[in-house]
Amino acid sequence: MRLNTLYNNKFAVSFEIFPPKTAEGEKNLWKELDILSSHKPDFVSVTYGAGGTTRVKTLEIALKVRDKYGIPPLVHFTCVGAGKNEIEAYLQEVKSHGIENILALRGDPPVGESRFTPHPDGFSHASELIDFIKSINGFTIAAAGYPEGHLEAPDLDTDIDNLKKKVDAGAQFIITQLFYNNDAFYDFMDSVEKKGIGVPIIPGIMPVTSLAQIQKITGLCGASVPDRLLGILKSCGSKDSICEAGLDYSIEQCHELKTWGVPGFHIYTINKSMAVTRIMDALGL
């Protein structure tokens, strides 16, 4: 099932999972997916390891999600360390299995490197990868957006110009990086509209379950942590109370976004179902 018209007439909820590194991790993933699938997500995205390290496993898990649960998969794909021939071969393999939805990403620099270096016969930007995927035909293409700007962008306005290049190249909807400040998202959406970007933009939601978790992830991606959220979590006296307060914040965040009028949510599950279930139940989804 292609996802290009998914957001036309419904509020859609999707989940992200990642390929585990161990057999035990994969066993646990399927236990969690048994629960996650009960919420009937509109699709499940499967991440693509740094430099293509999970390429085979990404495809394997995506196919099993489709075949076991009947849920359309969205396969992540980056152009890190790959030339055009290798990229086309992988895309043709994906297509041969009947997978029709791709999240096209440039990808992060390899571990230990501060700058992205494109393959000599590859692509420097996600927009170039998107244009290449579009030329193959048969795929719905999603891209990433950054409400507070990409870490490598000089400013948010430049980053939104880059987002428009992705859409002009063929991206049909946008999934955003996680954020905890809804006002930043609303400002981002105002700027996006002024740039003439008209495709659906889906907020990425990372449920708050611990202070260490959000400090780590925001440190990596550059998202801000509102003082109010920090104050709530620091006032809690135990890990359990932090988790409860964090999930209350996430539920409130999602409720406000839904009321504002977003077309859906994309929830970063970290391969766990508990927080997702709390949010889905609280919102009646």
CB–CB of 16/45 below 8 Å? yes
Catalytic residue, chosen from 16, 32, 100, 148, is 16
Six token digits for residue 210: 């611990």
Would residue 32 show up in a list of annotated catalytic residues for this protein? no
Q: What is the distance between the alpha carbons of residues 200 and 215, in angstroms, rounded to a whole number?
A: 29
Point out the residues that are catalytic: 16
